[in-house]
Amino acid sequence: MSSFDVKSKPIIEIKNLYKSFGDNHVLDGFTMNLYEGENLVIMGKSGSGKSVMIKCLIGLEEPDSGSIEVMGKNIKELEHWELDELRTEIGFLFQGSALYDSMSVRENLEFPLRRHTKKFGVIEDTTPMVMEALENVGLAHTINLMPSELSGGMKRRVALARTLILQPKIILYDEPTTGLDPITSKEIILLMISIQKKYNTSSIIITHDVDCARVISNRMILLIDNINYAEGTFEELSASEDPKIKAFFK
Amino acid sequence: MNNNSKIVESFKTFLVEVGELSYFTSRFFKEVFRPPYEFKEFLRQCYNMGNRSLLLVSVTGFIIGLVFTLQSRPTLLEFGAVSWMPSMVSISIIREMGPIITALICAGRIGSGIGAELGSMRVTEQIDAMEVSGTNPFNFLVITRILATTLMLPILVFFGDTIAIFGSAMVENIKGNVSYLLYFNQVFDSLKFSDIIPTTIKTFFFGFAIGLVGCYKGYNCKKGTAGVGLAANSAVVYTSMLLFIIDFIAVFITNIFY
């Protein structure tokens, strides 16, 4: 993908984010912006605070200090119900898919849909919306299966369909290709690109996968030593002579 | 670390646990009346907890009634007081043995099940997934389960008590040639509302405690899959302790009023 016009309006602004767990400083003044329609890849070593950062972003972790603004709203200042409303605009794809294992694929997709009557109204028949989301990921035939009957790649796709059903403006991907074989990884990456094109979503992709970063990123941030150490396009960063940056692209 | 500091540390951990459980309880009361009401999930939990515990509670109740009567019979015969058997069995089963034994069985079966289920949902990020989709996992997972245990336990106790008294009647019918009609007449003659009402109120608290501790342990599960086992195990241990404490308080209060 080509470089992205960063002059457009930021949809997410994170400033000086600090987060520690006891003596372990995970984020030391992390700052970043995400722009409308952009695919931003964040790479870093394990334990560098990438997942903690997106959990702070969605309100699952509370930062020690710093500000997070999503679509102009400061996360810290929101009431619980306001945060829930904002969360319908943000999709989150978990590393382990996190499908509700006591529910079928259909129920997994219906679950958020039936609880957001403000956004969607009371939906009598959810089947068309569920089918559309599943067709987007090529798994319409799994509608009545249980998560335990799906493979790892299929689970990831169903989780993506569940994320899409709320029609979010932003999607956060936490290591979307980790634990998948190269072919399935490629399928997931292509799926992410097609979804971005179809719905014009903005995405933050946390990954270790250089191939994934190369194909999908408009811009990249390298999280090293708990800060955003380097920022640029894939081509810029992969050509860097800095040994810390070079280590990621070997 | 010497022994004293170990004791202080354990005491601190205990106080933290009590504080967190109190906060969890207050959150339950804050959110229980707040919509949306997950009625369908509540009914599903009632079915899971009630219907699926019925056989276990019935078998245990029947054996308790049977064994209790068989064990007491020789002593009562010695004192020529065997006619007191229906009164003794019904009062002791309804006032004490039925509720506490059924509650302990449910703590093992339901409490550990809730702890393990919610614990595994926590470690596999399913609870986080509910939260980020803008739904309230506490409402869907915790409130429905606590309400279901609170409602189902008195029903299970009532059922278990009935089967236990029937077991006792069967022994008396076989060993003492006492008809079922006479036995149950004596049972109803000896029982008063002051036996039934306090014990019924007590079972609601037992049910609440089972649901509360199971949900608390599972919902706050940490340390990966090992934590799931720990959550299930400690849910049973803590609930069992709590049941005896509630029982003691209930008996103490009942003695004041009756």
pLDDT band per the 50, 70, 90 thresholds, residue A1:
very low
In tens, the pLDDT along B46-101 reads 999 998 899 999 999 999 999 999 999 999 999 989 899 999 999 999 999 999 99
Nearest CA in chain B to A112: B133
pLDDT at A101 > cutoff 70: yes
Residue with more model confidence, A99 or A120:
A99
Cis peptide before A147 (omega within 30 of 0): no
ipTM of the complex as predicted:
0.88
Q: Tokens 């086992």 belong to which residue? A: B229
- B4 lies in a domain? no
The whole-angstrom separation of Cα A36 and Cα A11 is: 6
- Strand residue runs (E) in B99-149: none
Report domain A37-46+80-218+230-249's class.
Answer: alpha beta
- B3 lies in a domain? no
pLDDT at A119 > cutoff 70: no
The whole-angstrom separation of Cα B41 and Cα B203 is: 22
DSSP state, residue B50: I
Nearest CA in chain A to B117: A102
Residues of B with CB under 8 A from a CB of A: 36, 117, 121, 124-126, 128-136
Q: Which of A98, A99, A112 lies at the smallest CB-CB distance from B134?
A: A112
In tens, the pLDDT along A135-190 reads 988 899 999 999 999 999 899 999 999 998 888 999 999 999 888 888 888 888 99
The whole-angstrom separation of Cα A57 and Cα A51 is: 10
Contact residues, chain A, for B121 at CB < 8 Å: 100
pLDDT at A228 > cutoff 90: no
Chain A nearest CA to B125, separation (Å): 5
pLDDT at residue A14, rounded to an integer: 94
Q: Which of A86, A90, A96 lies at the smallest CB-CB distance from B124?
A: A96
- B67 lies in a domain? yes
Name which of A74, A71, A52 is nearest A63 in CA terms: A52
Contacts of B52 (CB under 8 A, 6+ apart): none
- Strand residue runs (E) in chain B: none
A139 to A103, A151, A158, A165, A194: CA distances (angstroms):
16, 12, 7, 14, 15
Chain A nearest CA to B130, separation (Å): 8
- B118 lies in a domain? yes
Structure-block tokens of residue A41: 């890849």
- B116 lies in a domain? yes
- B7 lies in a domain? no
Pairing of strands A202-206, A227-232: unpaired
Q: Classify the phi-psi angles of A125: left when phi > 0, otherwise alpha if psi is within -120 to 50, otherwise beta.
A: beta
Give A44's strand partners: A223
DSSP state, residue B172: H
Q: Tokens 């150490």 belong to which residue? A: A229
Name which of B14, B66, B30 is nearest B142 in CA terms: B30
CB B232 within 8 A of CB B129: no
Mean residue pLDDT across chain A = 88
- B5 lies in a domain? no
The whole-angstrom separation of Cα B17 and Cα B216 is: 10
CB B118 within 8 A of CB B141: yes
Q: Which domain holds residue B225?
A: 13-257
pLDDT at B133 > cutoff 70: yes
pLDDT at A218 > cutoff 70: yes
pTM, rounded to two decimals:
0.89
Pairing of strands A39-44, A202-206: parallel
pLDDT at B43 > cutoff 80: yes
The whole-angstrom separation of Cα B20 and Cα A89 is: 32
pLDDT at B4 > cutoff 90: no
Pairing of strands A170-174, A202-206: parallel
If you compute the radius of gyration of chain A from its CA atoms, what whole number of angstroms results? 18
Q: Position B206: which residue type?
A: F
- B145 lies in a domain? yes
Give A202's strand partners: A170
pLDDT at residue A167, rounded to an integer: 87
Structure-block tokens of residue B103: 């509650």
Domain count, chain B: 1
Nearest CA in chain B to A117: B36
pLDDT at B115 > cutoff 80: yes
Reduced to 3 states (helix: H, G, I; strand: E, B; else coil), residue B58 is helix
pLDDT at A2 > cutoff 50: no
- Per-window interface: A 86-115 vs B, CB < 8 A: 86-88, 90, 92, 94-96, 98-102, 111-112, 115
What angle is formed at CA A227 by the lines to CA A224 and CA A228, rounded to 5 degrees?
80
Average pLDDT over residues A92-107: 93
Average pLDDT over residues A46-53: 87
Please report which residue ranges of A88-209 form alpha helices under DSSP H: 105-114, 117-120, 127-136, 152-164, 182-199
pLDDT at B31 > cutoff 70: yes
Q: Position B15: which residue type?
A: L
pLDDT at B117 > cutoff 90: yes
Pairing of strands A73-74, A227-232: unpaired
Nearest CA in chain B to A60: B128
Pairing of strands A10-21, A24-35: antiparallel
